[in-house]
Structure 1
Amino acid sequence: MSAQALNEKDYFTDLSVLLDPYAYFEAMREQGPVCPLPNHEGALMITGFAEAIEVLRNHKDFSSLNSTVGAGFPLPFKPEGNDITALMEANRDKYMGGDLLVALDGEKHSALRSVMNRLLTPTRLKANQEFMVEYAEQLVKEAVAKGGCELVNEIATPFVTLVIADLLGVPAEDREKFREVIDNAPPPGNMNNEAMPTEMSVLVFLGTFFYEYLIDRKENPREDVLSQLAHAKYPDGSDADLLDMVKMATFMFAAGQDTSAKLLGNAMRYIVDVPGLQEQLRADYSLITPFLEEVLRLEGSTKITSRLACRDTKIGDIEVPAGTQVLISLAAANRDPRRWENPNQFQLHRPRIMEHLAFGRGVHTCAGAPLARAEVKVILERFFENTSHIDLNPEKHGTAGNRKLEFEPSFIIRGLSNLQVDLTPA
């Protein structure tokens, strides 16, 4: 397909972009690192690495208000003047998920983020490690005994769901119920629902439970994250608002699913299809860390994020009026040839790999990044320990170089709908 034809596609609704969004982003890159977003008049797309960082770090001029719905969703108000900050806040309730941490700005975001940063500490993650290892071992051994599994839904999703449940302190009797609800929910940025791409019913369902948990932890504190949230304080020393903490707990539980689960599926594709890679990782587990960073660069779980210009500003030397919506393609920035040598090739020991944008940059950098890295590393080690070889099922997915894969219909998430793997026991 020609670059011109690709340029005419609507990124938010055209399902043909799902299979290979990178070809679409490359076609857009030919128009410059910042260019008009097709089919959305006045909106911009960023494919450049430097330009993406510039916007992600500029929380003064760019708001995250539209991050949950995407830059293709029409503004629910008419922007007027060179500073629309007050107008945006007056219309925040018209944005699905506009009250979630990921969409907040300024002092409100800073206060809540300071609470979250005190939760996911190295000490807390280390305490969660024992459960993580034991549960990973159980899941992998069961899969190996059967000779294979459907990795995304049988392994990745239950694993990351119960790990975050254990970390937070969700009661054991509720965990399976939560997993079923999340399994059946549409993905964020659902391309099959143009009118409402971000579905909040799951968060509402979970929120009723987390409200009860926090009420209980106020009276009966335990050694868990929910108890920390129930007694949290803002930086100025005042008690944190209970409903804010309920929303935070709910968002942490739900948002932690996609990044980690999809990363495992995306990583497994490289493990089985890059010649010699599986043998390298089996021989030296320390290579799993740089391997995952390169997968995050090439095939990160989040393809795009969105921003809204709240005042007249610039991106580089391009004038950006207040009210301009900006789609930041993290996936394209991570393959920008101005930043990365041979950007579309897998390279295990790529220099300065930690600079990739898979988890964002600036004040909205993904707080769960350390957990996602730890989860996937732990379960990959269990796979290597319990198998002598891993491959994709050829009847389901074809052979290397001619794979048949299905991706979730999301303009935000880059993740497989399923991945059938064949496992040869150790």
Structure 2
Amino acid sequence: MNSTSTGRIADFSLMDPVTQSDPFDFYAALHEECPVYCMPETGFYLVSRYDDLRQVLKDTETFSNDVNVKHGKGLQGDLGILYEEIIAERGWAHVQTLQRTDPPVHSRYRKLLDRVFTVKRVRDMAPYVDDVAHELIDGWIEQGHCEFNAQFAMPLPGIIIAEQLGLGRKDITTFKRWSDALISLAIRRMNEQEIRETAETELEMQHFLHDVFEDRRKTPTGDLISALVHAHGDDEEPLSLHELQNVMHQLISGGFETTQSAIAHGMWLLLRYPETMQRLRDDPGLIKRFCEEALRFESPVQGLARMTTRDVELAGTHIPKGSMVLTRYGAANRDPARFECPHKFDIDRPNAGAHLAFGSGPHFCVGASLARQEMVSAFTVLLSRLEDIRLERELPWPAHSPSLYFMPMKELPISFRKR
């Protein structure tokens, strides 16, 4: 996934699964020709440059996170409104909480989660994360091969977020199915049947969680759900059922897809850059630098959405009020004005940690420290136990499932020798 040609913007469409799977030539064209670009297919505005993106992320008064399908601008259009009606009729209607609110409303929800995802707590979790990684490897190391995406990259963060929430690990395949359904509305256009099927999956999750909320309300267990159910104090009101559902919606979807993608892409990078893999074996102290450069180079979240609250000009482009703006983190992390030779993978890059893979501003990823620990633990343990790691067969092309915002790998089959 190196950008080798500039091309022309007209040669690409971000609605094309091929471009979504390998968008970096498109990003290079955006940087050169039109850093703020109105997509002809959707009317959405893409923001591709690092400094422009930072401006958008910090100015929540102009670029709001409250991107509501009722505005009629969502990817699903009228079918998105149908989805909301189904959920409201048979479950708990969506309310805006963590990701889809702006300060000061956002601050209330963020404060609750910041108490849990502290740097100290994550640091103390490191041995536990290592143990989960070892346990997963124990399940397939004697076979000499595995489907890395499904057998390691997904269950590692899946088990950890499930156990931190208090849901247990035995049902992580169900939680993964829920996660996939929750993010599907944002990543591709659906027909009516798909909308109705996805709504049924979310309703299944909502009613399951309702029973968990009631159980934790009666008998707290010290997990994250217990903390959320009982979250109130002198300056706080308890979260309503609608708010609890929405916060869990975001934690379940965020806890699976993004870190899974980061770990899978990290392994894919090591397979493509075996000299880097050897350097990490020789000096495990480089693994943190490797993880930061991997996050920059192939950001697991390629972009998210904002909506303008007023007419605004950005990089010489007029954006009308009520427009959908797509923040392209993957493009900003390849901006040549910020990163020298941005399409080169280089773990010696001095400013790799300045990437925007976790966003910036008030909505900087609440789970960033946990995701970093999961990546460092994953590659430390993997490289200590496996050698001669190689791709078992050629990957399909495109290598990723269609997604407007993420880069979910379809598969990553590897073979290896036990160290």
The two structures have a TM-score, normalised by structure 2, of 0.85
Write the mapping of 1:193-342 to structure 2, written as runs, cut at 5 A.
193=190, 199=198, 201-233=200-232, 236-342=235-341
Counterpart contact for 2:159–2:169, Cα < 8 Å: no
2:10 aligned with 1:7, yes or no?
Answer: yes
2:417 aligned with 1:424, yes or no?
Answer: yes
Distance in 2 between the 1:185 and 1:221 partners?
27
Distance in 1 between the 2:257 and 2:68 partners?
16
- Of 138, 144, 149, the match for 1:147: 144
Distance in 2 between the 1:25 and 1:55 partners?
18
Counterpart contact for 1:33–1:46, Cα < 8 Å: yes
Distance in 2 between the 1:163 and 1:109 partners?
25
2:393 aligned with 1:410, yes or no?
Answer: no
Distance 1:295 1:71, change over 3 A: farther
- Of 30, 33, 36, the match for 1:34: 36
Offset of residue 230 of structure 1: 1.4
Offset of residue 187 of structure 1: 4.2
Offset of residue 262 of structure 1: 0.6
**Unaligned stretches of 5+ residues in structure 2:** 79-87
Aligned residues: 399
Match of 1:44 in 2: 45
Write the mapping of 1:150-165 to structure 2, written as runs, cut at 5 A.
150-165=147-162
- Of 114, 121, 134, the match for 1:137: 134
Distance in 2 between the 1:411 and 1:47 partners?
14
Write the mapping of 1:61-80 to structure 2, written as runs, cut at 5 A.
61-66=62-67, 73=75
Counterpart contact for 1:71–1:306, Cα < 8 Å: no
Distance in 1 between the 2:132 and 2:183 partners?
26
Write the mapping of 1:381-396 to structure 2, written as runs, cut at 5 A.
381-393=380-392, 395-396=393-394
Distance in 1 between the 2:122 and 2:172 partners?
19
- Write out per-residue CA displacement over residues 318-356 of structure 1, whole angstroms, 9 at most, x where no aligned residue: 443311221221111111111110000011121222211
SS of match in other structure, 1:411:
coil
SS of match in other structure, 2:104:
helix
Distance in 2 between the 1:68 and 1:334 partners?
29
2:359 aligned with 1:360, yes or no?
Answer: yes
Match of 2:115 in 1: 118
Matched to 1:304, the amino acid is: G
SS of match in other structure, 2:228:
helix
Matched to 1:15, the amino acid is: P
Distance 1:186 1:406, change over 3 A: farther
Distance 1:241 1:53, change over 3 A: same
Matched to 1:99, the amino acid is: Q
The two structures have a TM-score, normalised by structure 1, of 0.84
**Unaligned stretches of 5+ residues in structure 1:** 77-92, 398-402
- Give percent identity, aligned residues only: 25
Match of 1:60 in 2: 61
Matched to 2:310, the amino acid is: R
Counterpart contact for 1:302–1:414, Cα < 8 Å: yes
Counterpart contact for 2:300–2:357, Cα < 8 Å: yes
Distance in 2 between the 1:167 and 1:378 partners?
17
Counterpart contact for 1:164–1:253, Cα < 8 Å: yes
Offset of residue 189 of structure 1: 3.4
SS of match in other structure, 1:103:
coil
Offset of residue 235 of structure 1: 7.9
Offset of residue 231 of structure 1: 1.1
- Of 156, 164, 167, the match for 1:167: 164
Q: Which moved more, 1:281-290 or 1:14-23?
A: 14-23
- Of 2, 8, 19, the match for 1:17: 19
Distance 1:172 1:386, change over 3 A: closer
Q: CA RMSD in A?
A: 3.0
Offset of residue 165 of structure 1: 0.8
Distance in 2 between the 1:316 and 1:186 partners?
30
Distance in 1 between the 2:302 and 2:371 partners?
16
Distance in 2 between the 1:185 and 1:235 partners?
34
Counterpart contact for 1:306–1:325, Cα < 8 Å: yes
